[in-house]
């Protein structure tokens, strides 16, 4: 199908974009890469009255290494993330995860900010943000604010973003040289949404583990993190997954997802980067 009609707005900077968000009436949506929003509009699951295309907002672009963190503009595409020398050198977790996101033609347009704002429970980026202890910088009519990834994802396609707010950038604490990462994702076919996936970061025996595709949002699993830090056996670690409320849908029921999450976790641990 084709998308229903809408107004198309194209602000040339962040202030203009925020003004349009604040002034908007009815259902106005920001347009980042559009690789989820456009299908939703074509299916008519989404029918915004207006789209605010963020393509020209320079404040949302670029990757910079700041004092102790790496700043990634919200409009950075997956392909740009993959080819960025700072990201490749400092945060190899992106390189492990991004090849699992759809296909080349989608990764050329899809953005990290768009994925976080949508908060699809099966998407990779929210889990990576949890694992990397990222902070999400947003701006709105009441000014800018920073939200920890741990406080950002509230539920099924639900985030801490207010109606008038836009994600401007993502700040990731620069990983230490001893940081190791693990990632594994199980899908029906390559590029599909995850039935179960896991991202792991560890430094100085401090673990951060996030699962995606298994519940209403990407979630950290503190019991697994603690067990891994204790050096507990993998079996005991995997048994701790019982505490999660696994989602059921046509692709897989909760029991299957639980089993797949255990497999993904075991494989991610096994193949940690060294």
Partner 1 sequence: MSRSVDIALQVNGEDVKATVQSRLNLVDFLRNELGLTGSHVGCEHGVCGACTIIVDGDTVRGCLMLAAQANGKEVMTIEGLADSGKSTALQAAFTKRNALQCGFCTPGMLASAIGYIDAGGDANREAIRQHISGNYCRCTGYQSIVDAICDVIEEART
What's the closest the beta carbon of residue 219 comes to partner 1, in angstroms? 27
Torsion-angle region of 269 (φ positive above 0: left; ψ -120 to 50: alpha; else: beta): alpha
Q: Which is nearer to partner 1, 97 or 200 (CB)?
A: 97
What's the closest the beta carbon of residue 190 comes to partner 1, in angstroms? 4
What's the closest the beta carbon of residue 54 comes to partner 1, in angstroms? 11
Give the range of 34-42, 61-69, 135-143, 244-252 binding partner 1 by CB under 8 A: 34-42
Intra-chain end-to-end CA distance of the chain, in Å: 47
What's the closest the beta carbon of residue 3 comes to partner 1, in angstroms? 5
What residues contact residue 231 under an 8 Å CB cut-off, 6+ apart? none
What's the closest the beta carbon of residue 11 comes to partner 1, in angstroms? 12
Best CA proximity match to 185, nearest among 176, 173, 174, 196:
196
What's the closest the beta carbon of residue 96 comes to partner 1, in angstroms? 15
DSSP 83-119: H-HHHHHH-HHHHHHGGGSS-HHHHTT-BHHHHHHHT
What's the closest the beta carbon of residue 131 comes to partner 1, in angstroms? 24
* 166, 139 contact by CB (below 8 A): yes
Give the range of 8-16, 164-172, 229-237, 239-247 binding partner 1 by CB under 8 A: 8-16
Give the range of 7-15, 124-132, 174-182, 219-227 binding partner 1 by CB under 8 A: 7-15
Q: Could you say which residues in the range 120-179 bind partner 1, by CB under 8 A?
A: none
DSSP 213-247: SSSSS-EE-HHHHHHHHHT--HHHHHHGGGGS---
* 185, 197 contact by CB (below 8 A): yes
Q: Which is nearer to partner 1, 53 or 216 (CB)?
A: 53
Give the range of 39-47, 158-166, 202-210, 223-231 binding partner 1 by CB under 8 A: 39-47
Q: Could you say which residues in the range 188-247 bind partner 1, by CB under 8 A?
A: 189-191
Determine the longest span between alpha carbons in the chain, in angstroms: 56
Among residues 14, 16, 53, 65, which is the contact residue for partner 1, using CB under 8 A?
53
Instruction: Provide φ and ψ at 248, rounded to 5°.
Output: -120, 135
4-16 core/surface letters (b: 16 or more CB in 10 A; e: else): eebeebebeebee
Q: Could you say which residues in the range 65-124 bind partner 1, by CB under 8 A?
A: 79, 99, 102-106, 108-109
Q: Which is nearer to partner 1, 34 or 254 (CB)?
A: 34
Instruction: Rule CB under 8 A: say whether 10 interacts with partner 1.
Output: yes
Q: Residues in the site for partner 1, rule: CB under 8 A? A: 1-10, 31, 34-35, 38-39, 42-43, 50-51, 53, 55, 79, 99, 102-106, 108-109, 189-191
């Amino acid at each position: 199908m084709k998308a229903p009609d809408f107004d198309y707005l194209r602000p040339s900077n962040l202030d203009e974009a925020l003004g349009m968000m604040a002034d908007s009436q009815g259902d106005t949506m920001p347009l980042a890469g559009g690789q989820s929003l456009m299908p939703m509009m074509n299916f008519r699951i989404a029918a915004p009255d207006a789209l605010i295309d963020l393509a020209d907002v320079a404040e949302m672009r670029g990757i910079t290494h700041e004092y102790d963190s790496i700043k990634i503009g919200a409009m950075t595409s997956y392909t740009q993330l993959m080819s960025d020398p700072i990201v490749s050198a400092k945060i190899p977790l992106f390189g492990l995860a991004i090849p699992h996101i759809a296909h080349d033609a989608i990764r050329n347009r899809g953005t990290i900010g768009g994925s976080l704002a949508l908060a699809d429970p099966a998407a990779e980026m929210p889990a990576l943000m949890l694992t990397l202890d990222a902070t999400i910088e947003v701006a709105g009519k009441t000014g800018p604010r920073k939200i920890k990834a741990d406080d950002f994802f509230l539920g099924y396609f639900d985030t801490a973003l207010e109606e008038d707010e836009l994600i401007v950038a993502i700040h990731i604490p620069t990983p230490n040289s001893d940081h190791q990462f693990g990632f594994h994702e199980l899908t029906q076919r390559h590029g599909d949404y995850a039935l179960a996936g896991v991202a792991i970061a560890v430094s100085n025996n401090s673990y951060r583990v996030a699962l995606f595709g298994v519940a209403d949002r990407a979630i950290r699993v503190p019991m697994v993190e603690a067990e891994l830090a204790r050096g507990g056996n993998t079996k005991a670690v995997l048994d701790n997954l019982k505490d999660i409320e696994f989602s059921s849908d046509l692709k897989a029921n909760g029991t299957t997802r639980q089993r797949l999450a255990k497999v993904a976790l075991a494989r991610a641990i096994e193949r940690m980067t060294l």
